[in-house]
């Protein structure tokens, strides 16, 4: 199976292999690991410089975190306010309980408008609902317009990062895809040339396709406005030129007031791409006569977000502004890239968001795809305590697994249950230490180290030796010391 075909098969969390298994082919792919590490290093060094320069960075984070938490506390009020203002400004607001409903709504809107083609700005939410195949099935042709998304669409591949989705693809691979699918015979693999090819390919689409689909970075409740943050300009094309515009985004994307953007925009660009400000940010409110689409629809998507909202610790997941700073900082993501997470939301945010969207029925390995190093929490502009949520989800997953039959066959489960018993009494613990010393003697070599162990232990010894147990534990040594009178 080609890398691309394999990727397409696995980015559905309901069917993706568990993380440790999904990571294996990536770990064995030096090209991919190099591409990912290179991309991350570039963003990280730019980000570090600009964050150091921003002397009120921590204050901005504190405000952003508070604003987002506040929105979630009052979400119904803000959603209704947004709906009322957007409608008053000439927009039409629709609600979708789940992804399938969202896809049906979008298809229906486009059909009612008499269009069977749409240009698209990159939106992770539409990938979450698997919109493109649903629209194609409804007879609507969808054309991605982000350079990365074109690379992925033409290459029949899937995104591996939420800001730089094709970061796992190198220039030679892009050249091959463009040359084949755009039918350009003598294409050089210079990024400038490749970008120019994409610009030319898209120009006609922008000028002729009558409808556009977008996501939203932010909804503004106060005015019913929508904001889109981008670098390439294809967003501006899509939201200005066509007659019909459909914006799909999660209910959590709302901000109270226009002025709250003063906090979010300062944080987002530095976090996402390591710039003081991204090239283009656009904001529009409903319909403006004579300027831009004259038919504007918003689809507000739940798809499990209201479930996440219910839970005290997990609610902070919804503060996310999709900057990807967490995955740029993550040492696990650095080695595995995004596809290993089996979801359009990878990295640390994906490890908490995806399982929750799946109601913990799938993607149960994702909360464990972390060494809990907390680098993500340190960089998150809205201060999502991702490690805290990971631990909460691990507890929920474990509670579910406890009730299942499979636990009887899991050596780690038994090991931990037994360990707990041993920790409950000092005499049990010390007895276990003595027994363990005897048992491990069999595996301990002459130099005092253990080279291989069975069962769960083999997962350690596959790449590491283990110190053999010393002949005397600390407390045994302590007992040999003279006691002072007390």
Residues 108-127 that bind other proteins (CB under 8 A): none
Which candidate, 31, 39, 296, places its Cα nearest to that of 166? 39
For other proteins, the closer of residues 139 and 313 by Cβ is 313
For other proteins, the closer of residues 139 and 309 by Cβ is 309
User: Of these, 5, 14, 76, 137, which contacts other proteins (CB under 8 A)?
Assistant: 76
- If one asks whether residue 3 binds other proteins (CB under 8 A), the answer comes out as no
- If one asks whether residue 284 binds other proteins (CB under 8 A), the answer comes out as yes
Residue 361 CB, nearest distance to other proteins (Å)? 16
- If one asks whether residue 182 binds other proteins (CB under 8 A), the answer comes out as no
Contact 45, 356 (CB under 8 A): no
| 236/62 Cα distance (integer angstroms) | 31
SS3 454: coil
| 61/381 Cα distance (integer angstroms) | 5
User: Of these, 236, 297, 362, 383, which contacts other proteins (CB under 8 A)?
Assistant: 236
| Close Cβ partners of 394 (under 8 Å, ≥ 6 residues apart) | 367, 368
Residue 133 CB, nearest distance to other proteins (Å)? 22
How many residues of this chain interact with other proteins, rule: CB under 8 A? Answer: 159
For other proteins, the closer of residues 8 and 396 by Cβ is 396
Residue 274 CB, nearest distance to other proteins (Å)? 10
The piece of 112-120, 179-187, 272-280, 320-328 that touches other proteins (CB under 8 A) is 272-280
- If one asks whether residue 87 binds other proteins (CB under 8 A), the answer comes out as no
- If one asks whether residue 343 binds other proteins (CB under 8 A), the answer comes out as no
| 300/78 Cα distance (integer angstroms) | 12
Which candidate, 325, 309, 262, places its Cα nearest to that of 67? 262
- If one asks whether residue 435 binds other proteins (CB under 8 A), the answer comes out as no
Residue 71 CB, nearest distance to other proteins (Å)? 8
User: Of these, 32, 107, 135, 166, which contacts other proteins (CB under 8 A)?
Assistant: 166
- If one asks whether residue 75 binds other proteins (CB under 8 A), the answer comes out as yes
Which candidate, 1, 18, 53, 17, places its Cα nearest to that of 274? 53
State the CB neighbour count (10 A cutoff) for residue 414.
14
Residue with tokens 């963003």: 43
User: Of these, 140, 375, 386, 389, which contacts other proteins (CB under 8 A)?
Assistant: 375
* Tokens of residue 183, six digits: 């039918």
Considering only residues 33 to 62 of the shown chain, the ones binding other proteins according to CB under 8 A are 33, 35, 38-39, 42-43, 55-56, 59-60, 62
Residue 459 CB, nearest distance to other proteins (Å)? 4
The piece of 6-14, 71-79, 113-121, 344-352 that touches other proteins (CB under 8 A) is 71-79
- If one asks whether residue 84 binds other proteins (CB under 8 A), the answer comes out as no
| 11/14 Cα distance (integer angstroms) | 9
User: Of these, 86, 232, 320, 356, which contacts other proteins (CB under 8 A)?
Assistant: 232
DSSP 8-state assignment for residue 223: T
Beta strands in 356-478 (DSSP E): 449-450, 466-467
Considering only residues 391 to 430 of the shown chain, the ones binding other proteins according to CB under 8 A are 391, 394-399, 412, 416-417, 419-420, 422-426, 429
The beta-carbon contacts of 473-481 under 8 Å, at least 24 apart in sequence, are: 473/430, 473/433, 475/430, 476/430
Contact 279, 231 (CB under 8 A): yes
For other proteins, the closer of residues 263 and 363 by Cβ is 263
- If one asks whether residue 379 binds other proteins (CB under 8 A), the answer comes out as no
The beta-carbon contacts of 50-59 under 8 Å, at least 24 apart in sequence, are: 50/270, 50/274, 50/275, 50/276, 51/270, 54/266, 54/270
């Amino acid at each position: 199976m080609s890398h691309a075909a394999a990727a397409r098969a696995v980015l559905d969390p309901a069917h993706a292999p568990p993380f440790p298994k999904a990571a294996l082919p990536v770990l064995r792919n030096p090209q991919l690991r190099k591409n990912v590490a290179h991309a991350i290093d570039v963003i990280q060094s730019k980000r570090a410089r600009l964050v150091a320069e921003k002397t009120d960075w921590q204050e901005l984070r504190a405000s952003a975190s508070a604003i987002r938490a506040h929105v979630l506390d009052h979400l119904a009020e803000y959603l209704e306010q947004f709906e009322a203002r957007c409608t008053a400004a000439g927009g039409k607001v629709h609600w979708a309980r789940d992804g399938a409903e969202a896809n049906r709504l979008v298809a229906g809107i486009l059909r009612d408008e008499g269009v069977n083609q749409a240009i698209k700005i990159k939106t992770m939410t539409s990938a979450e609902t698997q919109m493109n195949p649903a629209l194609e099935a409804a007879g609507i042709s969808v054309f991605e317009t982000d350079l990365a998304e074109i690379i992925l669409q033409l290459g029949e591949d899937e995104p591996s990062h939420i800001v730089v989705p094709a970061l796992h693809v190198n220039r030679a691979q892009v050249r091959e895809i463009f040359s084949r699918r755009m039918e350009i015979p003598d294409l050089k693999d210079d990024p400038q040339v490749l970008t120019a090819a994409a610009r030319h390919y898209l120009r006609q689409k922008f000028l002729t396709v009558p409808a556009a689909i977008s996501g939203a970075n932010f909804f503004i409740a106060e005015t019913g406005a929508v904001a889109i943050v981008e670098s390439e300009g294809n967003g501006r094309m899509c939201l200005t030129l066509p007659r019909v515009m459909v914006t799909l985004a999660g209910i959590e994307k709302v901000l109270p007031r226009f002025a709250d953007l003063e906090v979010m925009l300062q944080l987002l660009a530095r976090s996402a791409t390591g710039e003081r400000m991204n090239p283009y940010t656009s904001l529009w409110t409903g319909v403006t006569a004579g300027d831009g689409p004259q038919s504007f629809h918003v689809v507000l998507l739940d798809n499990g977000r209201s479930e996440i909202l219910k839970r005290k610790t997990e609610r902070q997941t919804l503060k996310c502004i999709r900057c990807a700073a967490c995955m740029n900082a993550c040492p696990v993501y650095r080695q595995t890239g995004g596809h290993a997470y089996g979801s359009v939301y990878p990295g640390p945010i994906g490890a908490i968001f995806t399982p929750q969207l799946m109601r913990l029925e799938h993607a149960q390995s994702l909360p464990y795809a972390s060494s809990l190093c907390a680098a993500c929490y340190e960089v998150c502009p809205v201060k999502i305590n991702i490690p805290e949520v990971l631990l909460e989800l691990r507890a929920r997953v474990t509670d579910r697994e406890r009730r299942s039959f499979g636990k009887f066959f899991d050596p780690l489960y038994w090991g931990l249950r037994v360990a707990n018993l041993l920790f409950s009494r000092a005499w049990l613990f010390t007895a276990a230490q003595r027994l363990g010393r005897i048992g491990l003697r069999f595996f301990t070599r002459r130099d005092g180290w253990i080279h291989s162990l069975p069962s769960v232990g083999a997962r350690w010894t596959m790449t590491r030796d283990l110190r053999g147990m010393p002949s005397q534990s600390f407390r045994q040594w302590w007992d040999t010391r003279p006691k002072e009178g007390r």
